[in-house]
Amino acid sequence: ATIMNKKKKPFLGMPAPLGYVPGLGRGATGFTTRSDIGPARDANDPVDDRHAPPGKRTVGDQMKKNQTADDDDEDLNDTNYDEFNGYAGSLFSSGPYEKDDEEADAIYAALDKRMDERRKERREQREKEEIEKYRMERPKIQQQFSDLKRKLAEVTEEEWLSIPEVGDARNKRQRNPRYEKLTPVPDSFFAKHLQSGENHTSVDPRQTQFGGLNTPYPGGLNTPYPGGMTPGLMTPGTGELDMRKIGQARNTLMDMRLSQVSDSVSGQTVVDPKGYLTDLNSMIPTHGGDINDIKKARLLLKSVRETNPHHPPAWIASARLEEVTGKLQVARNLIMKGTEMCPKSEDVWLEAARLQPGDTAKAVVAQAVRHLPQSVRIYIRAAELETDIRAKKRVLRKALEHVPNSVRLWKAAVELEEPEDARIMLSRAVECCPTSVELWLALARLETYENARKVLNKARENIPTDRHIWITAAKLEEANGNTQMVEKIIDRAITSLRANGVEINREQWIQDAEECDKAGSVATCQAIMRAVIGIGIEEEDRKHTWMEDADSCVAHNALECARAIYAYALQVFPSKKSVWLRAAYFEKNHGTRESLEALLQRAVAHCPKAEVLWLMGAKSKWLAGDVPAARSILALAFQANPNSEEIWLAAVKLESENNEYERARRLLAKARSSAPTARVFMKSVKLEWVLGNIAAAQELCEEALKHYEDFPKLWMMKGQIEEQKELVEKAREAYNQGVR
């Protein structure tokens, strides 16, 4: 029963589909006989259709139906109603159609035909363009696969016949399930392959092309005798081949050929043995993608070019794909086709010029200029292709005739000229491009002092919102010795820019000041710093922000800017010891000795209680060899800080370093009386000990321990003195007392 059900077709016993004619597929045609039509009857005879559906059986039913149809012809829908004209349609549609009605309709039809013929050509042209545009945007499936259908012409008759017939294979696996069978592999199989080692039963078809070994290297060996004895290869009778030995034979042959070539008698080696592998690596294609991905990309780009041939990126991408894959000529052909399809695309022409060799690239650029006479990039490319300076000048001057308002073209042309010719050309350039700051500044640099001032004044009139013109004017005045005008120009610049609605960006102005510093315009950079350093800073953040700005300038090697910041900060905070100290360290590290001493003199005048400032000044004088000046500074420091331990000890060190031991002893005696501290006593003991006065040193040490017994260095010095006197027990006792 199951077999019968399988063979039974699913359409048997089902009603035939609509329009089905039996035998039509094999050429049979249907026919009708008189018995199917019935006897002939007059048109006025009543219908005798007793088996008709209700409502169609009698003549009365037919008349009622015709009357209803006439009533239904009138469209009384709301959409067919107009408030002014009423219902649309003819009022006399149900009336008799006479000859005058026919004549009127003919007249109206003639008018409609005449009006239609007047616009026929324009309408047909518009419809044709709309259809072409629609087909271009939404091509038919037939057009999309036309290139694939053309390949069907290459299919041979044998391939057509080998195409399998379409069978009823739908859901075959579900209808006829097949149970999978898993059979374990016997142990003998694994044992056999373990014994065989590296022997294999197959070789590469390329190596058996001539019945033997085909070495894939240049000048390799083709073995035309199968089964023969070859170096490193032995074909056993069982048909198994040792692939390891094949590889060894190939390497041996390779070494032999390389040795022969490198030992050439003529001295000209055909192959470099050392660079052979490098040459092989260089033969690898440069692209890093899969070949299938490249084919897909090529097919996709081809589809884009065919569907939208006026799309420039499609041609550029196609050319670059071919260039990457190494097909440079194909890339050139594609991009030249792109220039034909997209003659107004600047990028396509530039890509074509890039891919073409020298002279051809010049011809391509010349053709591009004819299509795009206003393209600046094409003119620049044309100038780059020229090797002669005069040819470059000629190209750029021709470009300026077509595009006189291009700043890029003017700059490129000016760079090729001598200073005098460049000045003349810039005079014309600022007339054509009055809003270009770079051209105005370049002209000002080439002019004399008086003319440069006039040029900058004109530049300010044309561009009142640019700060670089003002900064250049300040640098010009500084370069010509008018440093008093620099401050005025910068102040006027800030005022004028604010009046023209320009926001004063503090960071940008500081960067401009750093550039002026590096260019050597010290007065200009300091004037800029003084003008903008306080803009946009809260009062409580000024000190912290200014110190950070100074550190940033030092990091950028803009030392004059940092010096200007410190000078301004000292004017605002004259009593801040930390600001004076940072300024002093800056002058010590990056300034001169004179600038440091001048700053320290001002510092101690504003902060007389700052001991470190006095000491820095005295040390600077001492290192310079001016000991009297150092003594005078310390004397002034004593007056300002009479009980300062640091100043006393600095004075003692100054005298002792200059071998003035009596002065040092007297200073220490005064210090012990006016400012007795543990360090003062320690320095006193050390001085006497160094001078060899052991008894005086021991006496001072005993006196110091009475007042400062918790100072460990005094105990250590006492123990060392006892050791020096070879009193070990007393030294041990001193150390023990010190650690209690």
The sign one gets for the Cα dihedral 529, 531, 536, 537 is positive
Give the pLDDT of residue 334: 93
More confident residue, 374 or 78: 374
Question: Is the separation of the CB atoms in 378 and 346 below 8 Å?
Answer: yes
Give the pLDDT of residue 201: 47
More confident residue, 172 or 501: 501
Judged against a pLDDT cut of 50, whether residue 587 lies above it is answered with yes
Are 476 and 569 part of one and the same domain?
yes
Are 447 and 479 part of one and the same domain?
no
The separation between the first and the last C-alpha atoms of the chain, rounded to the nearest angstrom, is 118
> Rounded to 5 degrees, what are φ and ψ at 351?
-65, -40
Q: Which of 232-241, 292-301, 698-707 has the lowest mean pLDDT?
A: 232-241
Cα–Cα separations (whole angstroms), residue 655 to 351, 600, 664, 677, 686: 82, 22, 5, 20, 14
Instruction: Tell me the two tokens of residue 245.
Output: 């030995």
Answer yes or no: is 112 within a domain: no
Judged against a pLDDT cut of 50, whether residue 80 lies above it is answered with yes
Judged against a pLDDT cut of 90, whether residue 275 lies above it is answered with no
Q: How does pLDDT run across 667-706, given as a tens digit for each residue?
A: 666 766 666 777 767 777 776 667 767 777 777 777 777 7
Are 441 and 366 part of one and the same domain?
no
Residue 237 pLDDT grade (very low, low, confident, very high; cuts 50, 70, 90): very low
Are 426 and 474 part of one and the same domain?
no
Helix (H) or strand (E) holding 661: helix 661-674
Are 313 and 363 part of one and the same domain?
yes
Q: How does pLDDT run across 133-156, given as a tens digit for each residue?
A: 888 888 877 777 787 788 888 888
Which of helix, strand or coil describes residue 728? Answer: helix
Q: How does pLDDT run across 454-478, given as a tens digit for each residue?
A: 888 888 888 888 899 999 999 988 8
Are 298 and 392 part of one and the same domain?
no
> Rounded to 5 degrees, what are φ and ψ at 692?
95, 5
Close Cβ partners of 19 (under 8 Å, ≥ 6 residues apart)? none
Residue 450 pLDDT grade (very low, low, confident, very high; cuts 50, 70, 90): confident
Q: What percent of the chain has pLDDT over 90?
A: 12
Residue ranges making up the domain that contains 327: 290-372
Judged against a pLDDT cut of 90, whether residue 351 lies above it is answered with yes
Are 301 and 361 part of one and the same domain?
yes
Question: Is the separation of the CB atoms in 489 and 467 below 8 Å?
Answer: no
Answer yes or no: is 600 within a domain: no
Give the pLDDT of residue 91: 58
DSSP 731: H
pTM value surpassing 0.75 = no
Total count of domains within the chain? 4
Answer yes or no: is 405 within a domain: yes
Mean pLDDT of 203-228: 44
- State the Rg of the chain over Cα: 54
Q: How does pLDDT run across 616-645, given as a tens digit for each residue?
A: 877 777 777 777 777 777 777 777 777 766
Q: Which of 122-126, 379-383, 496-500, 650-654 has the lowest mean pLDDT?
A: 650-654
Mean pLDDT across the chain, nearest whole number?
76
DSSP 43-78: TTSPP--TTSPTTSSSHHHHHHHHHHHHHHTS---G
Q: Which of 573, 597, 619 is the last residue of a domain?
A: 573
Picking from 445, 492, 497, 426, the residue whose alpha carbon sits closest to that of residue 466 is 497
Q: Which of 534, 556, 573 is the last residue of a domain?
A: 573
Q: Which of 63-72, 698-707, 713-722 has the lowest mean pLDDT?
A: 63-72
Answer yes or no: is 259 within a domain: no
Answer yes or no: is 680 within a domain: yes
Give the pLDDT of residue 222: 45
Give the Cβ contact number of residue 737 at 10 Å: 13
Give me the CATH number covering residue 727. Answer: 1.25.40.10
Residue with tokens 């006039």: 454
Picking from 643, 648, 656, the residue whose alpha carbon sits closest to that of residue 688 is 656
Are 683 and 726 part of one and the same domain?
yes
Are 558 and 503 part of one and the same domain?
yes
Answer yes or no: is 535 within a domain: yes
Judged against a pLDDT cut of 60, whether residue 517 lies above it is answered with yes
Answer yes or no: is 304 within a domain: yes
Answer yes or no: is 96 within a domain: no
Are 476 and 566 part of one and the same domain?
yes
Residue 213 pLDDT grade (very low, low, confident, very high; cuts 50, 70, 90): very low
Q: How does pLDDT run across 152-183, given as a tens digit for each residue?
A: 888 888 888 888 776 655 666 666 666 666 77
Question: Is the separation of the CB atoms in 376 and 403 below 8 Å?
Answer: yes
Are 445 and 494 part of one and the same domain?
no
Residues in the chain: 740
Cα–Cα separations (whole angstroms), residue 324 to 290, 319, 336, 508, 513: 13, 9, 17, 44, 48
Judged against a pLDDT cut of 60, whether residue 373 lies above it is answered with yes
Give the pLDDT of residue 239: 47
Are 412 and 365 part of one and the same domain?
no
Give the pLDDT of residue 236: 42
More confident residue, 438 or 175: 438
